Amino acid sequence: MTKHETIEVRSALPIETRNENTDPLAAATAAVAELERAAEQRHTAHQTEVRGLTERLAQLETRLSRPGTQTENKNEPNEEQRAFGVYLRRGERGMTADETRAMTAATDTAGGFLVPETFVAELLRNVVQFSPVRAYARVMSIAGADVTLPKRTGTMSAVWVGETADRTGTQPTYGDIKLTPYEAACFIDVSNQLLEDAALNISSELSFDAAEEFGRLEGAAFVSGDGVGKPKGILAETTIGTVITGHASTLGSAPADKMIDAFYALPAAYRANATWGMNSTTLATVRKLKDSQGNFLWQPGLVAGQPDTILGRPVAELPDMPDVAAASTPIVLGDFSQGYRIVDRVSLALLRDPYSLATKGQTRFHLRRRVGGGVVKAEAFKLIKVAAS
């Protein structure tokens, strides 16, 4: 007998068939259009992002272009300046260990600290207002106890000789000038309430007050100091040539002529850069002088910032020059940059003393510096001296 097996019958998946009515070109066109829309959207988003970045850059440039923005960042105090400000207000005990290390201790036995270089620079700028000689003389900084400058005291002498005549030997001679910086000291009293006021720029206040004291002190020394414990002034140099007024107590009967004589008595090499110096009383007299043609010797500056002149050379008001009187030398003319040298020990030491005036609610600041000066070329100056002969 034959056995039959049952066969399972499964239905096949439907076969996808292409719609014969679909246009291949239309399908391709639709696909390209879709790509174009996607690219356009991406381009638009990119433009929006770039526009936003451009606006932000423009805002930053506007901020940086505002006056004072970059200067404020540039003038940000450094670590030493910040430590110095803390020392001025609170003293050494109020300083942290890092602030104490940032300061440079003075080497003198009295203690204290050396002030930052920025404070010294500001001090010297202010000193010029009270010590005009410093503005015209040559200034140099030294690190030692003194400085020795060479000076030619004699020149060679040439002579005309025949073809076979004997030649004589000649050579220049040299000497030296020693300039010693002397100590100048002052103290400034400041109210404790001002020190506690954060709005007060205590560094600038101290700088200006110290400049006024040091400027007054050194200004007088550079003019008339005797060189004993202080710089030697121009008037103390006995080798400078003089022009006599011809009268025992005045500038004489023809003072304008005497000034012209002094001007041309100065060697031409120094005359080209010479400056007149006198005090305000003498200056008032000189401003009224006229030459033989009736023209004023004094000529005001034609441009703002240009100095007034006498015979074409600028005038410096030196308050420490003497008045017109018997045997005085009230007027100096010379090339200060060639003839007078100032030496600075740049380091400036400051000591804070909160105890001496504690009962008065004040703190005393002691400042000390060392400065020297002297005439290095007497031939670069001429003095007008009040004398009959």
Q: Are residues 179 and 272 in the same domain?
A: no
Q: Which domain holds residue 323?
A: 234-340+377-385
The verdict on residue 12 lying in a domain is no
Same domain, 245 and 278: yes
Residue 31: pLDDT band with limits 50, 70, 90? confident
CATH number of the domain that 257 lies in?
3.30.2320
245 and 264 part of one domain? yes
Q: Residue 284 — pLDDT band, cuts 50, 70, 90?
A: very high
Instruction: Tally the domains of the chain.
Output: 2
- Residues with Cβ within 8 Å of residue 282, at least 6 apart in sequence: 321, 323, 324, 330, 331
The more confidently predicted of residues 343 and 292 is 343
Q: Is residue 55 part of a domain?
A: no
Would you say residue 339 has pLDDT above 60? yes
Bridge partners of residue 269, in order along the sequence: none
Helix and strand element counts for the chain (H, E): 12, 15
Which position has the higher pLDDT, 275 or 72? 275
Query: Does residue 126 lie in a domain region?
Result: yes
Residue 33, judged by CB atoms within 10 A of its CB (0-12, 13-18, 19+), counts as exposed
Q: Is residue 73 part of a domain?
A: no
> Are residue 200 and residue 324 in the same domain, yes or no?
no
Judge whether 280 lies within some domain. yes
- What percent of the chain has a predicted confidence (pLDDT) above 70? 77
Q: Are residues 142 and 256 in the same domain?
A: no
Same domain, 291 and 308: yes
201 lies in the same domain as 110: yes
User: pLDDT tens digits, residue range 121-176?
Assistant: 777 777 777 778 999 999 998 888 888 887 767 777 888 988 888 888 887 777 88
Q: Are residues 298 and 199 in the same domain?
A: no
Same domain, 130 and 194: yes
Q: pLDDT (tens digit, 9 = 90+) per residue, 214-235?
A: 889 999 999 999 999 999 999 9
Looking at per-residue confidence, does 347 or 209 come out higher? 209
Residue 248 clears pLDDT 80, i.e. is over it: yes
Same-domain pairing of 135 and 250: no
* Dihedral angle computed from the Cα positions of residues 213, 214, 219 and 221, in that order, rounded to the nearest 10 degrees: 110
Q: How confident is the model at residue 9 (pLDDT cuts 50, 70, 90)?
A: low
Note whether residue 327 is domain-resident. yes
Choose from 34-38, 47-51, 370-374 the range with maximum mean pLDDT. Answer: 370-374
Q: What confidence score (pLDDT) does residue 71 get?
A: 46
Q: What's the confidence (pLDDT) of residue 19?
A: 55
Given a contact cutoff of 8 angstroms between Cβ atoms, the answer to whether 345 and 371 are in contact is yes
Question: Is 121 inside any structural domain?
Answer: yes
Residue 71 lies in a domain: no
